[in-house]
Amino acid sequence: MRNELKTITENIEQTSRLGYLFGKGNVVNTLTEQLTKVEENITALEAEKENVENNLAQQTETLASVKRNLKRKEDEIEELGEEIDDLQADLSKKKNALREVEENYADLSSEHNDLTEKHKILLENVKKERTVTKLRENLVGALISAKNENEHLSSFRQIFHNEFLPFASEESSLQNEAGALLKLQEIEKELAMISGLPSFYSARAIAVGGGFSAGKSEFISSFFKNPDLKLPRSIEPTTAIPTYVVNQKNKNQTEVKNSLIGINNNGAAVDLLKIDPDLTQKLSHQFMRSFNFPLKSIMPYMFLTTELTYEHICFVDTPGYNPTGSHTAEDMAVAKEFVANAEALIWLVGADVNGTLPRTDIQFLKNVLGKSKKPVYFVLNKADVKPEADIVKIIKEFSQVLEREKIAYIGISAYDSLEGKGLLYYKGKGKKDIFEFLNSMNKSSNKQDEILHKLYEVERDYQFAIKKDIKQRKAIEKALHKITIDLNQANFKRGQYKVYDQLEIVAESFNTKTEEKHLKTLEKLMANFTNVINQMFGKVSQVKRPNINIDDIEVEGFEFDENNLQESEVHSSKEDELK
């Protein structure tokens, strides 16, 4: 462009010279000025262009640098992308691992919580076991160390074991010696019970029996005036301890004293509630089994005293027998003992499992009662679980079974132990409902006279046996004397024949000196027993001691018919003597 402009300028200059020639110089000047300005502008534009080109070059370089940087950044971004992918993959793995850790943590946390809870329970159990162990140690220690300090009981035992037993061992007239000793052992036990709990003296014992889970404890507890007090339940017969439930009041007859007294084998009383105030409720099957030996071997029975509906009745909570028929001889012996020592028996049958009187109950009752004439009352317990129509049928079936089996009974009642009320009863001739029966039994007992009557039964048996033996021996002695007379009349001169010496030896073996001595010893022993018993009760009983008239005792005679003593036999004997 500049060259073109230069050409134009040169043309103008030539033109301007011509212009001057033709008078056009102003136009040429103007054009020249304009061309100069244009040239200046072109110069400025070229400078600007150069600047722009320089800037463009710089920008181009910068752009190239930027592109290079961008490419580098893109490469970096790509690398970062790959790293991010790697990181995301790693993150995913870590998330999965974390999830597993969290799941494991949840499991471990749950396991930890379980272990913590088990540890807590274990600590509580250990604490409880320590408490129970301490309780067991205290209970066993108290029972073993307790001594009966009752001087009258000690005197009775001294007479029985140190004097009467040697007498019984030496004396042989009484055939049922074991029965007599058993009665004296029963007396010893009763005296121990009275010494352990004096209020038992006036109570009439009613044994409450039945199969295991027949509801004996609930039945007896229904007669407690304190509804919060309950007998231990569901304890197996092998571990259960017979409990005598006795009515008890303080002297002012206003406040009731509940107590639980254990009696050891020496008849010593231990206040169990002093060992543990809550022991009544702790006497569970589990607690009894925790001893690893039968607790009743050192505590054969207990007394529970509380206010009862019936003032003069003592309920005996006996161990239930196994209704499957697997009861042992020991079960039977225990049942017989408590029935023998009770004035009546209430037999329970659980309505929840029985629709009639079980055959096993009948067999057990027959073995236990034997020929006893004690009043027996039957209770269909837990009868609230049955509709009334079924109860009527069951009671009727009960009566038919008892009549068929010839088991005497006072009555049959359906009973609700939880509510303590009778529902229905058998209205046969002369039969009573449960409350009529208990009211008839609710009379003060005289244990002193009962014990003496039992003692005098022993004395009567021994008297009869010894006096019968004496009469028998005297009869034999008389018969031998008669033989001597007969021989003498048959010319057997005394001093000439050995037969007299032999007869005298035989007669001497039938003398009654030992028996008469035994009779005097018996009289002395029974007098000592009587004095001890009277001293224990603080008064002299009016019960009379037996005195059997020997003339009223019948024995086999030893009379010989003289006509039966043939002469040939006499001569034969004489010939034998001469030889």
Q: What is the average per-residue pLDDT within 411-440?
A: 87
What is the per-residue DSSP string for 67-120?
Answer: HHHHHHHHHHHHHHHHHHHHHHHHHHHHHHHHHHHHHHHHHHHHHHHHHHHHHH
pLDDT at residue 568, rounded to an integer: 36
pLDDT at 540 exceeding the cut of 70: yes
Confidence class of residue 373 from pLDDT cuts 50, 70 and 90? confident
Q: Cβ-count burial of 269 within 10 angstroms (0-12 exposed, 13-18 middle, 19+ buried)?
A: buried
Helix or strand or coil: residue 300? coil
pLDDT at residue 528, rounded to an integer: 94
The residue with greater pLDDT, 488 or 198, is: 198
Partnered with residue 303 across adjacent β-strands are 244, 261
Contacts of 85 (CB under 8 A, 6+ apart): none
Confidence class of residue 497 from pLDDT cuts 50, 70 and 90? very low
Output the six-digit token pair for 451. 């014990």
Output the six-digit token pair for 210. 């039945």
Nearest CA to 318 out of 295, 341, 297, 287 is that of 341
Q: How many CB atoms lie within 10 A of CB 443?
A: 12
Kind and range of the H or E run holding 498: helix 498-509
Q: What is the average per-residue pLDDT within 543-549?
A: 87
The whole-angstrom separation of Cα 302 and Cα 288 is 14
Is 261 within 8 Å of 244 (Cβ atoms)? Answer: no
The whole-angstrom separation of Cα 498 and Cα 494 is 9
Pair type for strands 313-317 and 204-210: parallel
pLDDT, one tens digit per residue, over 451-476 is 899 999 999 998 898 888 888 777 76
Q: What are phi and psi of 465, to 5 degrees?
A: -65, -45
pLDDT at residue 161, rounded to an integer: 92
pLDDT, one tens digit per residue, over 115-155 is 989 989 998 888 888 888 888 889 899 988 888 888 898 89
How far are the Cα atoms of 227, 279, 295 from residue 231, in angstroms, in the given order? 11, 11, 17
Q: What are phi and psi of 530, to 5 degrees?
A: -60, -45
Q: What is the average per-residue pLDDT within 359-376?
A: 82
Nearest CA to 342 out of 200, 460, 472 is that of 200
pLDDT, one tens digit per residue, over 17-56 is 555 545 556 766 777 787 788 888 888 878 888 887 888 8
Is 268 within 8 Å of 148 (Cβ atoms)? Answer: yes
Specify the residue for token string 């009587």: 530
Q: Which amino acid, residue 468?
A: K
pLDDT at residue 578, rounded to an integer: 34
3-state secondary structure string across 406-419: CCCCCEEEEEECCC
pLDDT at residue 561, rounded to an integer: 45
Q: What is the average per-residue pLDDT within 165-194?
A: 87
Phi-psi region of 245 (alpha: psi -120 to 50; beta: other; left: phi over 0): beta
Percent of the chain with pLDDT over 70: 79
The 8-class DSSP code of residue 546 comes to: P
Q: What are phi and psi of 316, to 5 degrees?
A: -105, 110
Q: Helices then strands (H, E): number in the chain?
A: 17, 10
How far are the Cα atoms of 151, 366, 377, 408, 409 from residue 403, in angstroms, in the given order? 49, 13, 14, 8, 9
Confidence class of residue 576 from pLDDT cuts 50, 70 and 90? very low
Q: Which amino acid, residue 481?
A: H
Output the six-digit token pair for 218. 């609930």
Is 33 within 8 Å of 41 (Cβ atoms)? Answer: no
pTM above 0.85, yes or no: no
Nearest CA to 423 out of 376, 378, 393, 383 is that of 383
Nearest CA to 441 out of 411, 415, 483, 467 is that of 411
What is the per-residue DSSP string for 234-253?
Answer: S--TTT---EEEEE---TTS
Kind and range of the H or E run holding 269: strand 269-271
The whole-angstrom separation of Cα 191 and Cα 307 is 23
Kind and range of the H or E run holding 389: helix 388-404
Helix or strand or coil: residue 24? coil
The whole-angstrom separation of Cα 134 and Cα 136 is 5
Contacts of 26 (CB under 8 A, 6+ apart): none
